[in-house]
Chains A and B, each alone.
Chain A
Amino acid sequence: MTKNQYSDDLAHIRSMMERSSRFLSLSGWAGIIPGLLALAGLATAVWLIQQAKINGGYEKGIEHGHALVTQLGIVALMVLALSIFASWYTCMRKARLDNQSTWTPAIRNMLLHFAIPLMAGAIIVGWIYQKEQWELLSPVLLSFYGLALVLVSQFTLRSVFWMGIFEIALSIPAGITGWDLPVLAIGFGFTHIVYGIMMFNKPRA
């Protein structure tokens, strides 16, 4: 054996470790579609809030059982459900095109580590709803989503880590009164779209 063969062996080891522990078939569409859905959802939210203001009822502050809260909740859940479906579908399709398995330990780890911070975030969102602390909603959504991305980056492309850090950083301006919706549009809308486009430019990192 020559030196080249030894370094080939080490390269092989590294590639096997990486391929067996990371899901690398992230599709650009898994960023772009949820990004567009988030923007559409936020636009709907702005429209609903304006309608509520016209009908008077918003000024008194949003209360439990208020139709607006229910409407906004339904929009948010629809965006979430459609985004999860779109990301899952496009990633699985890309995995099949890349001749990768669609149910590996890496994918199971990825789902588990993505779900845990989001569940924790959902508990806090429940309390925000209960205590009517709406101004905390936007920072909490961004920081818990950012944590989920940071955690999941161990099992997929490393660049997801930086997207997570960026989302967490956005939770700072998101707390400023009146900034919550624009910052949500940046965090959930434009960030995903930009990341998705970057994904197309470098298919395998």
Chain B
Amino acid sequence: MKSLIEALDKTFDSRIRLGIMSALMVNDAIDFNSLKELLEVTDGNLASHLKSLEAASYISVQKSFIGRKPLTRYKATRQGRKAFEIHITALEKLIRFKP
């Protein structure tokens, strides 16, 4: 049991980071506003969680402009996908675990 818990990724402790990563697993890229609406969080809150995922190199950031409006898009990196899959597997094992 203990080793299983250790297999969980601390980065995904937060529901918001877990949500961001889930959405990025099934979409090529998502922009900031779509993520904000999806997760129902404030700008500042979302930005700080995105920063920590970026710091872990789990997501990559793409900045561009549509006309004069800035558009920030986020993608899951290969490393991030791998880490997320390991995390899900660990969760599934923990649920099935019988002491």
Q: Could you tell me which A residues sit within 8 Å of B by CB distance? A: 1, 3, 6-7, 9-10, 12-14, 16-17, 19-21, 100-101, 104-105
Contact = CB atoms under 8 A, between A and B. Distances in A.
A101 B23 contact: no
B25 interface: yes
Contacts of B15: 9, 12
Contacts of B27: 20-21, 105
B25 A17 contact: yes
Contacts of B18: 9, 12-13, 16
A12 B95 contact: no
Q: Is the interface of B mostly helix, strand, loop or mixed?
A: helix
A12 B34 contact: no
Contacts, number: 57
Interface in B10-44: 15, 18-19, 22-23, 25-30, 33-34, 37-39
A16 B95 contact: no
B6 interface: no
A85 B36 CA distance: 29
Most B CB contacts (10 A, CB to CB) among A6, A14, A101 go to: A6
Interface residues of B, number: 23
A10 B30 contact: no
Interface stretch (B48-56, B60-68, B86-94): B86-94
A166 B81 CA distance: 37
B91 A17 contact: no
Contacts of A100: 37
Nearest to A19: B38
A101 B34 contact: yes
A100 B40 CA distance: 10
A16 B27 CA distance: 11
B54 to A, nearest CB: 19
Contacts of A19: 23, 38
